[in-house]
Chain A
Amino acid sequence: METAENYLVKGDPLLEIKDLKVSFKTDEGIIPAVDGVNISLKRGHTLGLVGESGSGKSVSTWAVLQLLPKSAIIHKGSSIKFHCKDGESVELTDFKSKSREIRNIRGGEISLIFQEPMSSFSPVYTVGNQIMEAVRAHRDVSKEEAEGIAIDMLSRVGIPNPKRRFKQYPFELSGGMRQRAMISVALSSNPSLLIADEPTTALDVTIQAQVLNLMKELQEELGMAIIFITHNLGVIAQIADEIAVMYLGGIVEQGTRHDIFHNPKHPYTMNLLRAIPRLGKTDGGRLVAIEGQIPSPMERPSGCCFHTRCSEYMPDRCNVNIPQITQISPEHTVRCFLYES
Chain B
Amino acid sequence: MSASSISTENMSTSAVTAKESEEALRYYSATQWQLIWWRFRHHKAALFAGTVLVVMGLCGLFASFLSPYSAVNRDKNYLLGPPQMIQFWDQKGFSLRPFTHGVTTKRNPTTLRREAKVDPDVRRYIEFFAHGDSYRFLGLFKTDIHLFGVEEGYLHLFGTDDLGRDLFSRTLFGTGTSMSIGIIGVVIAFILALFIGGVAGYAGGWIDYTIQRFTEIIRVIPVIPLYMGLAAAFPKEWTTMQVYFAMTLILGLVGWPTLARRIRGQILSLRDEDYVVAARVAGAGAPRIIGRHLLPAFTSYIIVDLVISFPYMVLSETALSFIGLGLRPPAVSWGVLLQAAQSIRTIQHAPWLFIPAIFVVVAVLAFTVLGDGVRDAADPYSVSEG
Contact = CB atoms under 8 A, between A and B. Distances in A.
Q: Do A and B belong to a common assembly?
A: yes
A38 B1 contact: yes
Contact of A335 (B3, B13, B386): B3
Contacts of B5: 19, 36, 77
Interface string B1-23: 11111110111011001001000
B76 interface: no
A71 B6 CA distance: 21
A24 B10 contact: no
A26 B384 contact: yes
A325 B20 contact: no
Contact of B14 (A26, A77, A302, A335): A302
A157 to B, nearest CB: 31
Contacts of B1: 18-19, 38, 325
Contact of A36 (B3, B14, B20): B3
B17 A299 contact: yes
A72 interface: yes
Nearest to B3: A322
A244 to B, nearest CB: 13
A303 B386 contact: no
B252 to A, nearest CB: 38
A27 interface: yes
Contact of A26 (B7, B10, B386): B386
Interface in B191-244: none
B3 A302 contact: no
Given A299-B20, A300-B13, A302-B11, A36 B386 contact: no
B386 A325 contact: no
Nearest to B12: A302
B42 A303 contact: no
B7 A321 contact: yes
A27 B383 CA distance: 10
B6 A36 contact: yes
B386 A324 contact: no
A59 B3 contact: no
A302 B12 CA distance: 9
Contacts of A325: 1-3
A27 B386 CA distance: 11
The interface size bin for chain A is 20 to 34
Nearest to B39: A27
A71 B4 CA distance: 26
Contacts of B42: 27
Interface residues of B, number: 18
Given A31-B386, A71-B386, A72-B386, A302 B10 contact: yes
B386 A24 contact: yes
Interface in A144-170: none
Contacts of A302: 10-11, 13-14
Nearest to B21: A299
Given A31-B386, A69-B386, A300 B3 contact: no
Given A302-B14, A324-B2, A32 B9 contact: yes
Contact of B6 (A31, A35, A69, A299): A35
Contact of B386 (A33, A77, A300): A33
Interface in A319-335: 321-325, 335
Interface in A90-125: none
Interface string A7-25: 0000000000011000010
B17 A59 contact: no
Contacts of A303: 10
Contacts of B20: 299
Interface in B359-386: 384, 386
A23 B257 CA distance: 46
A322 B2 contact: no
A98 B11 CA distance: 36
A59 B11 contact: no
Interface in A55-108: 59, 69, 71-72, 77
B168 to A, nearest CB: 43
A19 B5 CA distance: 10
Nearest to A296: B24
Nearest to B10: A302
Which of B3, B13, B14, B384 has the most A CB atoms < 10 Å from its CB? B3
20 contacts: A19-B2, A19-B5, A24-B386, A27-B42, A27-B384, A35-B6, A36-B3, A36-B6, A38-B1, A59-B386, A69-B386, A77-B5, A299-B24, A300-B10, A300-B13, A302-B10, A321-B7, A322-B7, A324-B2, A325-B3
Interface of B: 1-7, 9-11, 13-14, 17, 20, 24, 42, 384, 386
What 6 A-B pairs are tightest by C-beta distance, nearest first?
A: A24-B386, A302-B14, A302-B10, A325-B1, A322-B3, A322-B7
